[in-house]
Chains A and B, each alone.
Chain A
């Protein structure tokens, strides 16, 4: 049985991405006890799947390394991975959360030596790389994974493959009898930081994400550019592995659209501007980018970044919501059709690869939260007194860039501390 010590002075943080990690660390570094619950097998969330950040073009795993180090040395944070909060009962200063723990089939004896992975042959889709590639069915979630521990995919448990993994482990770390568990834990306050998911691009029918192999999403493009990605950082298009040197970015793919997401997802303009740098980094002057946009929302000091990309002769800006995409099955090129509204110019332009700047929606929408929580029309958690000591943080509360998500998470840590400090004052 997994034992978790928690009291009503404990802060429960749900979601182990950058927001959840930040909230947990800031609270713990202020002397509070925290339980951090993450659904995936490793912490880091969506930022660990990004190649670079805007506007500095630095690497997200650099900050992740620091946060992991802060976490490793902090005894006040208990991390539960492969864990989901299914219910939250009680109220401010006295919550009880029900947490479902999925079996990892690997215990803490794991040294991450990788012998189990070598032993098995079966492969499963590589979720870390948005299923663009495959991994062995005994795998380390990613190179930066924390906990640094392998996972046995449930599909090989009870098969000879599973037994192979078990036999390969000299340390008794593979435990195929692990069962799903449910634990209950107390908390004084809850920080809900489950982040965002990319909008389902297949729903934007005219762009053919579900039909055309060379139409991909912006999050997938991050994986193509990343050295830890399926192409080892080479920007190759899916249909034929050709170097994609002429790339289109379609903004508001799902966002600002009453048929899809009503809100503006805030990050996508900057993300595409950033991704034009990947094209330049890979192919120099041969790399051409075209951004199809409605408004470029490079707010505040990001304007500098926009100005720089604007002045790049290899990047073209077209004020237009693309009407449709058609992939030429012979050449693999994707032709975009639409009208440049600045002066009315019609276009039908072929590109090697089309990247949809997909919108953000909350991973867990308001109505699906395991408690009665006030949220807005898009499902983001609002700051509302009716939510008591249940605080949204990061992209669970609004579509935010990393910087603002961390600010939001830091703020939520204080709100939670206010509650547990009140509880402490009453109890002492």
Chain B
């Protein structure tokens, strides 16, 4: 590596020159920051200022640049040098915009700025320019698990983009749920009639596509590796096993209908004339466009009743609590099977809320035009009566207890249950629920562990240390929890598509599968150049691990939110760079500090907090360290400053990638260096977590709850370390939190640890 040459540039623009003694700042950079080159500029971000820095890089051999100007979030085009390490001292938002413009405040404002210069110089010196992963490889093949419409879409779309595809289907034919359908709901204008399913056309396209290799009657019995270099063992029913390489994976394993046998009160199993939606499709297929016959005796069907939300939207705890989002459309379509064949057949849809969003409204209207009738009601029971059924329901409009006593067919809309494999967090979820007083999950978990209990079968059979399948959300769906980032699950390079991730209809599944394929292809490309995926996309750094110091405590492997770390044969952690999202949670977890990133490490932060000038006990100038999540808390502080929301001059803010990356050594160092308090600001955790790395803020919270002992050993008050949940909109609350905390510190007094 070339010799390090640090240059510090201090901007005088945006009022920095008026509010601060920039000459003194330059002196600090020179003397304490040990910068070889220190320059002030009246307008650093303009073309001239940037050229000055560029020239120094080119002519003076500058390798490390410290920019003392605005927030790292501002002027990124100007200061986004990619060939040198860059740190930013936030003098504008972090100092002059968040401090009052008064004579009394002048001294502390200047002190604040000087500290940020010290911190910026200290940080940049500990950084090295990420060179990228030399071992990065990629395989431009997509593995698709599941051969329904979602899986087939993924395969065809990937092929169209020029990628190879391996498609694995557990049954003997492609098509999945769609292959069972007589017709599908319309996916485009005019949304009036049932349409042919796309299955035949898709199967033909796949068969004629040289890029796509199909395995039928096959499962993925083992998947190891990481994005760019997955290896999948594919086992067929015949017992043969083949190994295929892939760069990315789409899991499109679909759903099963909720088992209508759980609904004897709705007559299922008691009368052959009560069917679920699959049963009706089978009848329609068998009729082949002719009249659908009554199952019990082959008699003529004159009246059909559709019962919506059968075993769905259930608040009794017995059935599915959610809505499957597609059954209203399906029931209207199925009613049309009858109406289109013979308008004299009565078809009644009994619904609570008719949920046909978007252009589904057109389909609803079309159903009405064809004479399908709709009744808002709640069905309480279906009983068999000879070859007919009695349907009892509460008519919610007429406020009547009503009965239809001569239905020839009753169709139950039972909803979708995802085929998502093993819930790898089931024990953890049960523990959390039990802690909250709900033992049902724990009982279910214990029952599942009994000998002889039917164990869920894994789908992906990942060799990941954290478990064989994708982590599941509520109700077993493998969706991501993010609204803005629906594909960002906790397994990099593996994307769920279709009803396995959320209940949906076919049109949505096609769109979803196309999106998931996009992400998988992107993962394939990123893996090849060792580049991080969302949310730190483009980051070329990766965790570097010093094996000698490792004590094999396994915290990193357990805590990594993305399951990126396995164990090798000697039980040392084995990092899979391409699975890593660069949050630094492993670094935060490591008690012996052997994990670091080239541009972010225990040192880059540790050196900053140590660089701060801590006044003595009698100065009445406490120092409070703020470790702020760069995703939400730090932008909130910036925007608070833009609003000129003033906060205490005693804080020194260091942005961190995620609170999960906070290593307790930083807290220890801060306290033993005489800081009076440490505030940690991270994202909301819990069910509706907002942490961009899913578990980071939660883990930090758990770690900090255990820091009490450390504080006791140092004879310090508990309040000296506090964790806060902060949202990006907290532009008034964050300054308030800081000021309240500063007041609290004032009350409990200065730290006795100063000057050691």
Contact = CB atoms under 8 A, between A and B. Distances in A.
Q: CB–CB under 8 A between A and B in the complex? A: yes
Interface of A: 18, 25-26, 29-31, 51, 53, 56-67, 69-70, 72-74, 108-109, 111-113, 143-144, 148, 170-171, 226-228, 232, 256, 262-266, 295-304, 307, 319, 341-344, 376-378, 380, 382-384, 398-400, 402-404, 406-411, 413-415, 417-418, 421-422, 425
Nearest to B13: A111
Interface stretch (B118-126, B283-291, B517-525, B711-719): B517-525
A407 B511 contact: yes
B357 A61 contact: no
Given A31-B525, A264-B361, A303-B313, A63 B188 contact: no
B522 A29 contact: yes
A72 B630 CA distance: 15
A65 B628 CA distance: 15
A72 B485 CA distance: 18
Contact of B727 (A62, A262, A418): A62
A256 B482 CA distance: 29
Contacts of A57: 688
Contacts of B598: none
B5 interface: no
16 contacts: A26-B522, A59-B729, A60-B484, A62-B728, A113-B14, A113-B15, A264-B356, A266-B357, A300-B502, A341-B397, A399-B358, A404-B486, A407-B515, A408-B511, A411-B518, A414-B161
A380 to B, nearest CB: 8
- The CB with the most chain B CB atoms within 10 A, among A69, A302, A304, A380, is that of A69
B137 to A, nearest CB: 16
A415 B503 contact: no
Contact of B518 (A30, A67, A226): A30
Given A227-B729, A344-B399, A406-B485, 8 more contacts: A29-B526, A62-B690, A66-B484, A66-B631, A108-B77, A298-B353, A300-B322, A304-B474
A111 B313 CA distance: 53
Interface in B342-371: 353-362
B43 interface: yes
B534 interface: yes
B502 A301 contact: yes
Contacts of A376: 188-189, 359
Given A303-B322, A399-B358, A226 B515 contact: no
A206 to B, nearest CB: 21
Contacts of A109: 43, 46
Given A301-B474, A408-B511, A264 B360 contact: yes
Nearest to B731: A227
A304 B313 CA distance: 9
Nearest to B154: A414
A296 B731 CA distance: 34
Contacts of A300: 322-325, 502-504
B727 A406 contact: no
B293 interface: no
Contacts of A406: 483-486, 515
B399 A343 contact: yes
B483 A58 contact: yes
A297 B515 contact: no
A406 B516 CA distance: 11
B469 interface: no
Contacts of B519: 26, 410
A56 B362 contact: no
Contacts of B325: 299-300
A74 B164 CA distance: 27
Nearest to B16: A113
B160 interface: yes
A256 B358 CA distance: 9
A285 to B, nearest CB: 22
Nearest to A31: B525
B257 to A, nearest CB: 15
B315 A342 contact: no
Interface string B365-407: 0000000000010000000000000000000111100000000
A376 B191 CA distance: 10
Contact of B359 (A112, A263, A299): A263
Contact of B483 (A53, A61, A65, A418): A53
B396 A18 contact: no
A299 B358 CA distance: 12
Contacts of A399: 357-358
Contacts of B106: none
B525 A30 contact: yes
Contact of A171 (B13, B190, B357, B376): B13
A342 B462 CA distance: 52
A298 B321 CA distance: 12
Contacts of A341: 397
A63 B482 contact: yes
B448 interface: no
A265 B728 CA distance: 29
B76 A73 contact: yes
Nearest to A257: B361
Interface centre among B362, B483, B517, B643 (most CB of A within 10 A): B483
Nearest to B479: A301
Contacts of A228: 729, 731
Nearest to B46: A109
Contact of B639 (A60, A143, A409, A418): A143
B45 interface: yes
A29 B585 CA distance: 24
A93 B693 CA distance: 38
A266 B157 CA distance: 27
B322 A304 contact: yes
Contacts of B482: 63
Q: Which of the listed residues A266, A299, A304, A382 has the most CB atoms from chain B within 10 Å of its own CB?
A: A299
B127 to A, nearest CB: 16
B483 A403 contact: yes
Interface string B109-141: 000000000000000000000000000000000
Nearest to B17: A170
A148 B322 contact: no
Contact of A264 (B357, B525, B642): B357
B635 interface: yes
B515 A410 contact: yes
Contacts of B358: 263-266, 398-400
B260 to A, nearest CB: 20
Name the residue in B73, B525, B732 with the highest tally of chain A Cβ atoms < 10 Å from its Cβ: B73
B357 A66 contact: no
Contacts of B75: 111, 148
B692 interface: yes
A298 B482 CA distance: 18
A227 B535 contact: no
A63 B361 contact: no
B172 to A, nearest CB: 29
A398 B475 CA distance: 28
B188 A111 contact: no
Interface in B466-522: 474-475, 477, 479, 481-487, 502-504, 508, 511-512, 514-519, 521-522
A111 B12 CA distance: 12
A277 B74 CA distance: 33
Given A111-B45, A303-B323, A65 B517 contact: no
A387 to B, nearest CB: 12
A72 B642 CA distance: 20
Interface string B734-749: 0000000000000000
Contact of B508 (A113, A304, A404): A404
B515 to A, nearest CB: 4
B198 interface: no
Nearest to A411: B514
The 5 A-B pairs of least Cβ separation, nearest first, read: A63-B484, A411-B514, A410-B515, A414-B518, A266-B357
Nearest to B162: A421
B193 interface: no
